[in-house]
Amino acid sequence: MDAINIACSRPYQVLVGSGLLDEAGAKIAGVTGCCTAALVADDTVDALYGDRVQGSLERAGCRVARFCFPHGEQSKDMGTYVRLLNFLAENRLTRGDAVIALGGGVTGDLAGFAAATFLRGVPLVQLPTTLLAAVDSSVGGKTAVDLPQGKNLAGAFHQPSLVLCDCGTLDTLPDGVFRDGCAEVIKYGVLCDEEFFDSLQKPINEQREAVIARCVRIKSDIVIRDEQDRGERQLLNLGHTVGHAVEQCSGFSVSHGHAVAIGMAYAARAAFRRGLCRRDCPARIEEMLRLYGLPVRADWAPEALAQAALSDKKRRGGHITLVVPEAIGRCVLYPLPVDGLADWIRSGEDTL
């Protein structure tokens, strides 16, 4: 098992290993001291792991209240969020209790936002069951739900009290969901670790504990320096401006990781055509994405993608901040006037 300490405003540990769901109750009770645990999961994950986690919590002396919702990004909305708040109130959670997010990024974001706002904040524990959630969304304290105008527009920073990444849960992932996580793993290599990027030539699934731990350490280092996302932390949005636009244009039929893969490919190709990165950078990124069966092109016009991106949180007034790779392992923030975004996306459309 690997233990990573996150030394932010509310320090906590991320534990990475196998069999952690069976130990979850004791670890959660030890950290939070909760009497009641509100266990939040979508219907797919609840059927797979809900009873197992509930049993672990009950053995540790916790009363368990389970909230189950339909799987999919479409459930990460204000309606589900309000239903969850009402559930927490009906079960009389106090600030001495805890919300447990069991699942992928949708569950973590939804449960985290409810935990951040119920009683002005109750303890949150993340139990990620997807590769994407393990390496990215479960760490760092970002919580949110979507609005019709865009992704993650209503949210709060709320650091978890504990994150338990049980690598055994990856065995039940559909191939497409596992590939979503691979896109985020590749992102970390492009951002700041060329050696790690090259190591992904060996299948991620054959080195998953080490890969998850490395990604968490990269993210934790950045989050510690910029917890509130005012500067350096924005680098973690590599591929996300175009990626979120692809998700929205597709009606969320394109999953988050696949959309981020497209966004990374666009960012690299556009950067090269603007003279901002080395020629080999886009080709290496595309080669790695294709190795994991990830897409590198979108089916929507640049104008449609740019319009969808205008509601992106990274927009400040008349500018939007893009993340641009200069080389594998080195990225920079690049402010761009919003009226130039469609042309930027157009320059990233075609392979070199």
Instruction: For residue 101, give the CATH number of its domain.
Output: 3.40.50.1970
- Are 219 and 159 part of one and the same domain? no
**Is residue 67 scored above 90 in pLDDT?**
yes
- Are 36 and 102 part of one and the same domain? yes
- Asked if residue 352 is part of any domain, the answer here is no
- Asked if residue 308 is part of any domain, the answer here is yes
- Are 91 and 142 part of one and the same domain? yes
Average pLDDT, the chain: 96
How many domains is the chain built from? 2
- Are 159 and 218 part of one and the same domain? no
Structure tokens given for 136: 């990215």
Predicted local confidence at residue 307, as pLDDT: 93
Confidence band for 312, pLDDT divided at 50, 70 and 90 = low
- Are 199 and 151 part of one and the same domain? no
- Asked if residue 320 is part of any domain, the answer here is yes
- Are 162 and 179 part of one and the same domain? no
- Asked if residue 264 is part of any domain, the answer here is yes
Predicted local confidence at residue 110, as pLDDT: 98
Predicted local confidence at residue 318, as pLDDT: 86
- Asked if residue 230 is part of any domain, the answer here is yes
For 27-60, what is each residue's pLDDT tens digit? 999 999 999 999 999 999 999 999 999 999 999 9
Summarize the confidence of residues 240-248 as an average pLDDT: 95
Find where tokens 């294709």 sit.
Answer: 290
- Are 182 and 306 part of one and the same domain? yes
- Are 167 and 187 part of one and the same domain? no
**Is residue 314 scored above 70 in pLDDT?**
no
- Are 239 and 313 part of one and the same domain? yes
Spell out where the chain has E strands: 2-6, 12-17, 36-42, 63-69, 98-103, 124-128, 142-147, 150-157, 162-166, 315-316, 319-327, 330-337
- Are 164 and 230 part of one and the same domain? no
Domain that holds residue 10: 2-172
